[in-house]
């Protein structure tokens, strides 16, 4: 089942004492990409059980390949990527494709 949407679920392991700086950098990047024509939504969450972890959940129109080709090379992303070494210890990226949705209509999935 292809929805022509891709979801990025990214967990950041933030260096101790750097959470606010990281948030500022992340939110500035979101302010840039929220105007992109293929952007659907982003949700940023703190992990209640891991205070130095932060998770972003992004939904985009297109595929993983189209996202990598069109979105990743943007100049604002390069600037953001350059700041991460000083702010995070690790980043875990999951590429997802929606297959069911209840309670909203953010994806192209019908149930």
Q: List pLDDT tens digits, range 29-42.
A: 999 999 999 999 99
Q: Let me know if residue 40 belongs to a domain.
A: yes
Q: Let me know if residue 43 belongs to a domain.
A: yes
Q: Let me know if residue 107 belongs to a domain.
A: no
DSSP run (H or E) holding 77: helix 75-84
Number of helices and strands in the chain (H, E):
3, 4
User: Exposed e or buried b for every residue in 37-46, given b needs 16+ CB within 10 A?
Assistant: eeebebeeee
Q: How far apart are CA 106 and CA 60, in angstroms?
A: 10
Q: Let me know if residue 16 belongs to a domain.
A: yes
Q: What is the pLDDT of residue 111?
A: 65
- Residue by residue, DSSP assigns 63-76 as -HHHHHHHTTT-HH
Range of the domain at 89: 5-96
Q: Let me know if residue 102 belongs to a domain.
A: no
DSSP three-state, residue 40: strand
Q: What is the pLDDT of residue 2?
A: 58
Using an 8 Å Cβ cutoff, are 5 and 107 in contact?
Answer: yes
| Angle at 2 (CA atoms; ends 65, 101), nearest 5 degrees | 110
Give the chain's domain count.
Answer: 1
Q: List pLDDT tens digits, range 56-104.
A: 999 999 999 999 999 999 999 998 999 999 999 999 999 999 999 888 8
Q: Let me know if residue 54 belongs to a domain.
A: yes
Q: Let me know if residue 105 belongs to a domain.
A: no
Q: What is the pLDDT of residue 108?
A: 81
Q: Let me know if residue 111 belongs to a domain.
A: no
At 87, phi and psi to the nearest 5? -115, -30
CATH of the domain at 29: 3.30.70.100
């Amino acid at each position: 089942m292809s929805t022509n949407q891709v979801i990025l679920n990214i967990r950041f392991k933030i260096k101790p004492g750097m959470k606010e700086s990281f948030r500022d950098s992340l939110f500035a990047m979101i302010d840039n990409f929220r105007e992109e024509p293929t952007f659907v939504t982003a949700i940023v969450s703190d992990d209640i059980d891991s205070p130095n972890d932060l998770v972003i959940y992004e939904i985009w129109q297109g595929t993983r390949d189209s996202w990598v080709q069109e979105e990743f090379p943007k100049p604002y992303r390069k600037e953001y990527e350059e700041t991460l070494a000083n702010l995070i210890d690790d980043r875990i990226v999951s590429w997802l494709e929606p297959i069911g949705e209840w309670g909203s209509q953010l994806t192209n999935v019908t149930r």
